[in-house]
């Protein structure tokens, strides 16, 4: 067999303003080009402690069990769902976006039964509906999506949801993939039992090592399960031996991704988490003002600064706009999903991409294509 002829890697220079990944900060790229050490090297063990400490700050939690899960956001998501769902458990899952559906699939695979809390795509859950569903179904776990990337909806009133769930003895799992590091999130103060995230959104690191934090109550459920978790790789009671005191081998950590995450989290700590939330709101606010000045509106009832769903005028083909922005301006944005397919553009304003220069370029380019 002849060896294939493949040229040197030269990816195009893109401005990443879609639903993720966002642009990676140069300091994070530099961290990724530093030499590997072993995943059990004492130097790496120290670095693991630092990453855990920085993650706790970013999640605003004191949870001991706070780790990056090897894999993309879905790996952290599945570890939360699969470990906290025992066969026969009832899990409440939102019905107002794409990632609620993914949560539901994961619950079913873990042997749980799914009950949905309804809200239209583009609207947040109403805490009264969550309370009514808790009354009717007496769930073991209540899941919600803090920042729904498919619709650009921010779930507000999180403490109202967690209080209701706890009153019914349920644990609360939050999808914080598009909020961590970009939108106000207070895991401890808001009473969230498990929050999972990803690195390629508001943290602006490449995908591959995904944040997860569990409260003591959640850890207790994981460690006192009757049946072992069906996935060996994502069994958090086994992973705890690697990320906990013992540092015992479980699998080979993605060293370079952990370096990247460490640097990305150092940037969060340097900026200050609250200042970072404020920057996302300010820069995305300029984006919102810019598109509104063009006569376009946002399609979401609960604005999510990190993901803006821009409603397209009737008769405008979203794929033409998306293709033009990429081909003529090198700017990546995405179209709508599910109920919003064809009607909106999804424009991210996340992490290192949440900069005034990016917003200016995007608004100008949108004006160009829609003129």
Binding site for ligand PLP (CB under 6 A): 19-20, 72-74, 77, 99, 145, 149, 175, 177-178, 198, 207
Bridge partners (DSSP) listed for residue 67:
212
Distance CA(61)–CA(77), nearest Å, equals 18
Residue with tokens 């399609």: 299
Q: Least separation, in Å, of the C-beta of 175 and ligand PLP? A: 5
Q: List Cα–Cα distances, 183 to 76, 178, 293, 304, 349, in angstroms.
A: 19, 8, 24, 8, 11
CB-CB contact of 305 with 183 (8 Å) = yes
Nearest partner of 342 among 369, 362, 313, judged by Cα = 313
119 token code pair: 């809200």
Closer to ligand PLP by Cβ: residue 19 or 122? 19
Nearest Cα neighbor of 148 from 122, 126, 117, 186 is 122
Please report how close the Cβ of residue 316 comes to ligand PLP at its closest, in angstroms: 25
Q: Do 170 and 192 contact (CB within 8 A), yes or no?
A: no
Phi, psi of 266 (to 5 degrees): -65, -40
Residue whose Cβ sits closest to ligand PLP: 73
User: Nearer to ligand PLP by C-beta: 137 or 148?
Assistant: 148
- Shortest Cβ 111–ligand PLP spacing (Å): 21
The smaller minimum CB distance to ligand PLP, of residues 308 and 365, is found at 308
Please state, in angstroms and rounded to a whole number, the distance separating the CA atoms of residues 91 and 70.
25
CA distances from 127 to 134, 142, 144, 178, 225 (A): 10, 12, 11, 21, 29
Alpha-carbon span 236 to 77, nearest angstrom: 12
- In the complex with ligand PLP, the residue whose CB is nearer, 91 or 131, is 91
Least spacing, CB of residue 60 vs ligand PLP, in Å? 19
CA distance 219 to 244: 12
Sheet with 90-94, strands from edge to edge, namely: 65-71, 208-214, 194-196, 171-175, 141-145, 90-94, 113-117
Q: Which two tokens stand for residue 50?
A: 């630092």
């Amino acid at each position: 067999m002849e060896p294939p002829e493949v040229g040197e890697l030269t990816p195009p220079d893109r401005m990443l303003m879609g639903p993720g990944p966002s642009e990676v900060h140069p300091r994070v790229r530099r961290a990724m080009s530093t030499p590997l050490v072993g995943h059990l090297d004492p130097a790496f063990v120290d670095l693991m402690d630092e990453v855990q400490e920085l993650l706790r700050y970013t999640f605003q939690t004191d949870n001991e069990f706070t780790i990056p899960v090897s894999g993309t956001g879905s790996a952290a998501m599945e570890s939360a769902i699969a470990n906290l769902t025992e066969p026969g458990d009832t899990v409440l899952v939102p019905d107002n976006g794409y990632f609620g559906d993914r949560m539901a699939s994961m619950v079913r695979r873990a042997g749980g039964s799914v009950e949905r809390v309804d809200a239209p795509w583009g609207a947040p859950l109403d805490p009264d509906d969550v309370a009514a569903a808790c009354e009717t179904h007496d769930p073991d776990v209540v899941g919600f999506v803090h920042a729904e990337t498919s619709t650009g909806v921010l779930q507000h009133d999180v403490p109202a949801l967690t209080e209701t769930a706890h009153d019914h003895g349920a644990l609360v799992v939050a999808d914080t993939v598009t909020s961590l590091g970009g939108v106000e999130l207070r895991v401890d103060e808001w009473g969230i039992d498990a929050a999972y995230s990803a690195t390629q959104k508001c943290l602006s690191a490449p995908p591959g090592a995904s944040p997860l934090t569990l409260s003591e109550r959640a850890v207790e459920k994981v460690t006192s399960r009757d049946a072992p978790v069906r996935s060996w790789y994502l069994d958090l009671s086994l992973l705890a031996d690697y990320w906990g005191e013992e540092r015992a081998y479980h699998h080979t950590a993605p060293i370079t991704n952990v370096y990247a995450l460490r640097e990305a989290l150092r940037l969060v700590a340097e900026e200050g988490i609250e200042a970072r939330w404020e920057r996302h709101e300010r820069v995305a606010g300029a984006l919102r003002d810019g598109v509104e000045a063009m006569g376009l509106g946002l399609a979401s009832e609960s604005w999510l600064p990190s993901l803006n769903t821009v409603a397209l005028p009737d008769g405008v083909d979203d794929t033409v706009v998306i293709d033009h922005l990429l081909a003529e301006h090198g700017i990546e944005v995405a179209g709508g999903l599910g109920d919003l397919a064809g009607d909106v553009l999804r424009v991210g304003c996340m992490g290192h991409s949440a900069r005034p220069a990016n917003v200016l370029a995007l608004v100008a380019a949108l004006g160009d294509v829609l003129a």
